[in-house]
Chains A and B, each alone.
Chain A
């Protein structure tokens, strides 16, 4: 065990893992986090806590992680390189581990032009791959990148994200290989709607033998409506939603679309379970956490180990 997190144990035991996502609130009220916990507790192995996603200021991912932990949910803390230089990143890695966080997802983060503070300084002292390498070094070698000894190495199961649908396609697997070499133990993918393209990505990944070195958690997001599908296709960079998916969700009336979206998500998970190298799913039910139980349950993934 590298960190001994629940997620690491579930994967090591060969179970099909389930993670979900929880965006901290746009305010200091901890109740906003707590009220989501009954929808998640017992249904997942760990829960991502986003780090100011889309560059919109929210409660910090460390604070959100602690509130989840207090309520019996294992946090998977996200950390972006957009807002902190290497001094702050190292310090927060130490702090998170000291407080009991055992999973860390290393990301570069959405550019600040998307958020409420487009005037903010764009830090990017290091990139997400260098962050993986830095934390791996602190954890496994007990040293700071400066070479100085750590008094107590952080214990963190390390993850990265990939978008198999971004361009250019043919560097997507090599870039994951870089992340694995830097220290990624698991990877969570961008939301999958184009399953054919994802299967091609997995085949390319297996050809490199990467499925034996990194646990792939396939990302899924249930569609709430045809409008949401069209909006994401148009506005989210690197979001690949095939026309037939939009056609299907549009085939029923507005009232029935949320349930069809859930059903489509469950079908997708069933198919993903059969893809060699996929070791779990990452269910991103955006502001729809109350549906996680239904999705996970109907996909045959309950009870959790």
Chain B
């Protein structure tokens, strides 16, 4: 899922300083699962903003909304009938949701209420960790199902570097060395013979480096 976390309240208060009537829009997708932008978080943010604005005698009217998904036009359109009654929207969907709202509601300022962090997993309750950088050319079959791009701090293709000690990365003792994990898996799978293969320089054209990406599926667009 796409993992996000709340922006500081002060930052959001500053964004909406000049508004008296706003929508807070949540999303039932990824950000609900990672507890950053679902229905419950919409309520919590709305209450916090109301209280903060009452305290400075500048009350704020808020409509609390939770869309099925902010990344699909049909769900965004459900806001159409009432959006014009408000001065702005704070979206607590991911960065894609915030931008898609902005595209669809040209006359309304749209503000991000969360920071979008990474594509990751729930390691345990309340703890999420990165797994994928969306490089667009998956090589997990070669690395024991553990991604060197996402899990090595230097994204090196022939690791581990000299900074790997006791299974952790040189940048932080709480960060597992991605290449130690890869070696452990390759060994368990009896795949270490592939370790000494020289891997060609990776093409980053399929990653963000090639410019903004798009996928067109002719079978579905026709």
Contacts and interface: CB of A to CB of B under 8 A. Distances in A.
Contact of B170 (A111, A162, A190): A111
A225 interface: no
B174 interface: no
Contacts of B161: 108, 128, 166
Interface string B180-196: 10010000000000011
Interface string A209-236: 0000000000000000000000000000
Nearest to A175: B158
A171 B153 contact: no
Contact of B154 (A111, A133, A168): A111
Interface in B142-164: 153-164
Contacts, number: 92
Q: Main SS of chain B's interface residues?
A: loop
Interface residues of B, number: 29
A110 B198 contact: no
Interface stretch (A96-104, A118-126, A292-300): A118-126
A238 B195 contact: no
A123 to B, nearest CB: 9
Nearest to B153: A111
Given A126-B201, A133-B198, A238 B165 contact: yes
Contact of B163 (A125, A145, A238): A238
Contacts of A168: 160, 164, 180, 183
A178 B157 CA distance: 12
Contact of A129 (B160, B183, B198): B198
A257 interface: no
Contact of B165 (A124, A129, A134, A237): A237
B75 interface: no
A238 B171 CA distance: 12
B154 A166 contact: no
Contact of B195 (A86, A113, A145, A171): A171
A82 interface: yes
Given A130-B201, A167-B180, A108 B156 contact: yes
Given A110-B163, A167-B160, A145 B180 contact: no
Which of B156, B199, B202, B204 has the most chain A CB atoms inside 10 A of its CB? B156
A53 to B, nearest CB: 13
A166 B156 contact: no
Contacts of B162: 161-163, 166, 190, 237-238
A9 B186 CA distance: 41
B160 A166 contact: yes
Contact of A237 (B157, B170, B195, B201): B170
Interface string B186-222: 0000000001101111101000000000000000000
A166 B153 contact: no
A127 B153 contact: no
B123 interface: no
B166 interface: yes
Contacts of B204: 125
A177 interface: yes
Contacts of B29: none
B164 A127 contact: no
Given A110-B170, A111-B171, A166-B164, A122 B158 contact: no
Given A125-B201, A127-B158, A167-B167, 9 more contacts: A108-B156, A111-B170, A114-B170, A126-B201, A163-B163, A167-B180, A237-B170, A238-B163, A238-B170
7 contacts: A108-B156, A122-B155, A171-B183, A175-B158, A178-B198, A237-B162, A237-B165
